[in-house]
């Protein structure tokens, strides 16, 4: 279908399958390096044959992930704002958005690094594990949080790069970060015998090197662009807009975490074997999510750029094409899991009891990709368009409906009801945002 190109300050763009895949494919590959890194970390510490070290690593990584979920907005919020500035052809605002995000990252990162001992103590209290597990967890958290400023600046760098639609550069930066991390993890953790501390130092070093490389690339680019007045970076109204956007994304992220925590907690009520089986199956959903995140990122950039350029046709095409590719990928993932899921379960766990229970509930897990694709894609569209209040409100509504479904379905149908409630959550998230989309488009264009 031919389109009328949108133009902003001499910049012309159209939304095509190629423009979607140019962002989605490299970022999908980039996102997939994250679970690979987790596997290497676990394998390295696992070589010591000490369950307490493995437990400490897992607990420390969980606490760290919960803390840093609060700052996901530095990536996604920056992507949306930079994409809109790109759509308007406003080079100075692209720079200003980046430096505002870096300022927030530096301040928040220093605070987190200073609070590392307290975060470690809080994590130990929350986990309430045996002393050796708690000790390993504290070591991991204290070292990882020293690199908090580097990690958060990397969020801002990736947000800027993706806001400009440069998926290849984003992939390169993630490969550098995780590649150094994996290499040093093996060297420090295994070869030098540092264990959990080696894994944590490897991560901190990878974050630092990736930050230096990313800043060098961005600053070199800015040096060839128009000079940015300092007062524009510190513009109060722009800062307030960014903080409002960031607050809404933070609430959305915590609501998502709360839903998954409730899912896990309810699964634990059905016994240890069912809890373990659900954990195995949730890995399938999370891996499918990494693939879908690539197309959600494409939706962020293309929708944001179209909003910035006031290009309604390009916006509709961005929504249409990212949804088309997302559903295609989700259907493929579902088919693969239905056909090969039993074999994958056998690879993940050697427990015959867990395998038997996981096989029963495999279809529920397989179809989460299809149930969740609209939620992933709509999140991308709304983040790119910076319609964060609607996204926040629909997430809170979805969480309430999920909680109600959990109370009704889990007692009545057991673990089948638990998985059904998860599907309700995913479907409500997607369709509620889709319902609002038409209303928002009328006011935006």
Task: Encode pLDDT of 413-426 as tens digits.
Answer: 999 999 999 999 99
pLDDT at 337 over 60: yes
pLDDT at 327 over 50: yes
- pLDDT at 258 (0 to 100): 86
Least-confidence region, from 109-118, 340-349, 384-393: 340-349
pLDDT band for position 239 (50/70/90)?
Answer: confident
More confident residue, 319 or 276: 319
- pLDDT at 6 (0 to 100): 57
- pLDDT at 154 (0 to 100): 95
pLDDT at 321 over 80: yes
Mean pLDDT of 79-88: 94
Question: Is the C-alpha dihedral spanning 141, 186, 349, 427 positive or negative?
Answer: positive
CB atoms within 10 A of CB 196: 26
CB contact set of 314 (below 8 Å; sequence gap of 6+): 3, 6, 13, 14, 15, 302, 305, 306
- Cα separation values, 246 from 17, 113, 127, 306, Å: 30, 21, 28, 21
Query: What are the structure tokens assigned to 291, written together?
Result: 């693939």
- pLDDT at 99 (0 to 100): 96
In SS3 terms, 115-183 reads as CHHHHHHHHHHHHCCCHHHHHHHHHHHHHHHHCHHHHHHHHHHHHHHHHCCCHHHHHHHHHHHHHHHHH
Average pLDDT taken over every residue of the chain: 88
- pLDDT at 4 (0 to 100): 47
pLDDT at 394 over 80: yes
| 396-399 long-range contacts, CB within 8 A, separation 24+ | 396/251, 396/255, 397/428, 397/432, 398/255, 398/259, 398/425, 398/428, 398/429, 398/432, 399/255, 399/258, 399/259, 399/425
- pLDDT at 39 (0 to 100): 66
pLDDT band for position 10 (50/70/90)?
Answer: very low
Q: Say if strands 11-13 and 6-8 run parallel, antiparallel, or are unpaired.
A: antiparallel
- pLDDT at 7 (0 to 100): 55
SS3 11: strand
- CA dist 75 and 81 (Å) reads 10
Q: Which of 61-65, 245-249, 282-286 has the highest mean pLDDT?
A: 245-249
Least-confidence region, from 36-50, 227-241, 281-295, 396-410: 36-50
SS3 379: helix
């Amino acid at each position: 279908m031919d389109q009328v190109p949108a133009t902003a300050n001499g910049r012309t763009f159209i939304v095509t399958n190629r423009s979607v895949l140019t962002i989605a494919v490299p970022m999908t590959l980039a996102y997939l390096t994250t679970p690979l890194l987790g596997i290497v970390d676990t394998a390295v510490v696992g070589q010591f044959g000490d369950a307490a070290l493995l437990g400490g690593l897992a607990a420390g990584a969980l606490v760290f992930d919960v803390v840093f979920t609060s700052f996901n907005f530095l990536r996604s919020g920056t992507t949306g704002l930079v994409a809109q500035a790109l759509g308007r052809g406003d080079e100075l605002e692209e720079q200003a958005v980046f430096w505002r995000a870096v300022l927030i990252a530096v301040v928040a990162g220093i605070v987190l690094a200073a609070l590392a001992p307290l975060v470690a103590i809080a994590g130990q209290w929350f986990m309430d594990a045996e002393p050796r597990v708690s000790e390993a967890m504290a070591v991991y958290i204290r070292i990882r949080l020293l690199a908090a400023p580097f990690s958060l600046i990397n969020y801002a760098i990736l947000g800027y790069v993706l806001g400009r639609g440069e998926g290849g550069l984003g992939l390169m930066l993630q490969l550098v970060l995780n590649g150094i991390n994996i290499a040093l993890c093996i060297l420090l953790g295994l070869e030098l015998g540092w264990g959990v501390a080696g894994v944590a130092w490897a991560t901190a070093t990878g974050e630092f090197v990736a930050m230096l490389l990313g800043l060098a690339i961005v600053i070199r680019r800015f040096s060839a662009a128009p000079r940015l007045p300092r007062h524009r970076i510190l513009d109060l109204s722009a800062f307030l807009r960014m903080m409002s956007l960031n607050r809404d994304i933070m609430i959305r992220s915590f609501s998502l975490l709360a839903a998954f925590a409730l899912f896990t907690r309810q699964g634990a009520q059905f016994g240890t074997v069912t809890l373990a089986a659900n954990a195995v199956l949730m890995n399938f959903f999370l891996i499918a999510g990494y693939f879908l995140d690539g197309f959600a990122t494409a939706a962020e950039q293309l929708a944001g750029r179209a909003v910035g350029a006031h290009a309604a046709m390009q916006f509709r095409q961005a929504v249409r094409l990212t949804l088309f590719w997302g559903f295609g990928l989700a259907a493929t993932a579902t088919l693969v899991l239905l056909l090969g899921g039993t074999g994958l379960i056998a690879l993940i766990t050697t427990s015959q009891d867990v395998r038997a229970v996981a096989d029963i509930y495999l279809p529920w897990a397989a179809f989460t990709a299809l149930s969740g694709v609209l939620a992933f894609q709509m999140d991308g569209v709304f983040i790119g368009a910076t319609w964060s209040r609607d996204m926040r409100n629909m997430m809170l509504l979805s969480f309430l409906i999920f909680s109600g479904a959990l109370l009704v379905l889990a007692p009545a149908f057991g673990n089948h009801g638990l998985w059904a409630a998860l599907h309700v959550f995913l479907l409500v998230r997607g369709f509620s945002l889709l319902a609002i989309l038409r209303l928002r488009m009328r006011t935006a264009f």
